[in-house]
Structure 1
Amino acid sequence: MHKHYIVSVFALLLNLSAASAITRDSIGVENYKGKKLIIHQVVAKDTYYSIGRRYNVVPKDIMSFNDNKFLQIGVILKVPTNLPFIAPAATTTANRKNQPAVAAPATTDGELAEHIVQKKENLNMLAERYGTTVNEIKRVNNMNSVNLSIGQVLKMPGKPAEQPAQNQQQAQVPAVQPKAEETVVKTQIPPENRYKKSEKPAKKKDAVDAKPEEFLEHKVASNETMYSIATTYKMTMDQLKAKNNLTDNSLRVGQKLLIRGQYPAKNAATTSETNTDTLNSIKDPSLRLPASRYGLNQMDEKGTGIWIADADLDPSKMLVLHRSAPIGTVMKITNPMTNRSTFAKVVGKFTENESTKDVIIVMTKAVADALGALDKRFYCNLTYGGQDNEQ
């Protein structure tokens, strides 16, 4: 009989030691599915095995519950147990059902109120709410650190402030309704006219478009081409040709090209142009009108040209040989492939042989380079005065 008593007393002592071990070194408890969940803060030399022995829990259960978290000083672990969770004695079941999760004090015991720690709460916030200090809260709850865990029950010295209730009352106040006069002003504009654009900008645009384009004319200089002139004025060759009613790319020195604007009416310009030409002819006997106006002929030829290296022709000078043009004639030579023109002087006639067969002109290397010739034989256009120009 005495042996049974001794065994019973020994078992009771073991249960008491296990119960004290469960709460030893813990910083709080939580309710996890009706079971007590111990909150433990890791200290030096702690391992999963030592923590399991401390709380009488299998180490593998602690590791699985905490996802095998790496242990270091200050880490918070949650230790699952099979012990039932017992709520504070002063808080009844009916009060817990009716009380929201964010309620501050559950009950009061003399001057101490119980508070369940919620998410994002800290000791500074609780001390301000209950009108106390952090050190006082730590002293009352025998705390060695300021770390808190969700669900932890704290005894708070003091009473909670009534600020949340006042804020809730202010939140329930309905927003100020807009005045009736303001509503009338907003609805005065018909919906169909709200997005209608003003017609004033359109009138200004019409006035700008009606302004005549500035007149601009270009006088062709030597070695200028249709492409170079169009590029200078940021135009295309087709635009420049259409502006001046041209059918090809050939140009002559002194030719005037219309770039912008329009020429004046023909009737008004004919008289003034005739008078100007007459006065210029009197002052300067040089030709002011086309050669046909003075009974002269202009010869135009198209065919193959060739450049040669002849000892009788200086390759650095602009010299050519022609079948019929008189010696001394200055003719204009155009290369339609490069749209480049130049002037050269006739110094003699050439005889037809194997190299000059089907050729209309023979030239020096200087003339071919001025025309941008890529081959020794190339197609070209000739313009020069006829036989009557000799006299």
Structure 2
Amino acid sequence: MLLLALGHACVDVYQGAVAALVPFFVAERAYTYAAASGIVLAASLLSSVVQPLFGALTDKWAMPWLLPVSTLVGGTGVALAGVGGDYALTLLAVAVSGIGVAAYHPEAARVARRASRGSHTAMSWFSLGGNLGFATAPLLTAAVVATGGLGASPLLVVPALAGAALCVAALRGIRVADAAAPKNAAPAQPPPADDWPSFLRLSGAIVCRSIVFTGLSTFVSLYARQRTGGGEVAGTAALFVLYLGGAVGTVAGGRLAARHGRLPVVRWSYALTVLAVAGVVLVPGPALFLFVVLASAGLYVPFSLHITLGQDYLPRRIGTASGVTLGLTVSIGGLASPLVGALADTTSLGLALTPLIALPAVGWLLLRTLREPGGTDPG
């Protein structure tokens, strides 16, 4: 699980790096808000479409080789995004990165569930790896691009090289463990029937969470500069806080769920997010950072719980459930990002971010009547 978590961190650097590059595209290439958010859209669009496809494929065939290969593809795309100044080529590069990220997550979630033996806490550590990748992306990107400009982006391929090596080592360890396992275990019982209505409501809530998270991760850096007057340092700090708070929230989510149940924890997280996003958008000055921390916690505490709930609602389609909860519903937030950017271009960034306050409330309504897989709700 440690190797899988570290490999997950190396992959999700590239989800965070795309948003972290936005301020540099605006400053160095004079992109509008809409054009800059189109970069995020390019990374998300193909990922949204193909990730459930990869999930369905992994339901039929185990494809562990996807882990190192997709890690390299994801890193190569971001590494090439800063090369040259052509907008179309930049879109293509981040789209290739999005495909790599899409190919990684369903198979990685399937392998992690197998290695964790169904433990919610263990899955939260796997998710923590991805969140740490998000958290380090702004610092890594700023260190590379602020020093050498966008032309230095090929250096961003380094985490992909490390991640591919970690994935290979993790898969080798799992094969060794399987070979050493006793062969006389009782045959596994067939999984229960899939609960598609509950899964679809869960997915709708995750879409709401995704739009909020993607909107904040795309624009909070620029917004923090405006609201605090702290310049580039304030912007990078706000994005780092958004991602780092998620690392803490993910682990807390697994522990809280073990004590209080998954669904109560998820519902309270969505309720907290409503208040936290309102603070980010409406409160001026340094207090903005406090609300970024709260928003990060509200958005990330349910993250690993979404994965295990989705897998338990579709026990016969683990890959599909992982592809949707880790992929389609998460990536679809990038589809809304250009709308936020276009509204910001015509009005103001603060006004464009205001609709994000209502979306966690919609997610809470979708979650309100869900029951734990198996028919009970411990909350």
TM superposition score category, shorter chain reference: under 0.3
TM-score, normalising length: structure 1? 0.19
Q: Which has the larger radius of gyration?
A: 1
Query: Higher strand share goes to which structure?
Result: 1
The structure whose RCO (Cα within 8 Å, separation 6+) is larger is 2
TM-score, normalising length: structure 2? 0.20
Query: Higher helix share goes to which structure?
Result: 2
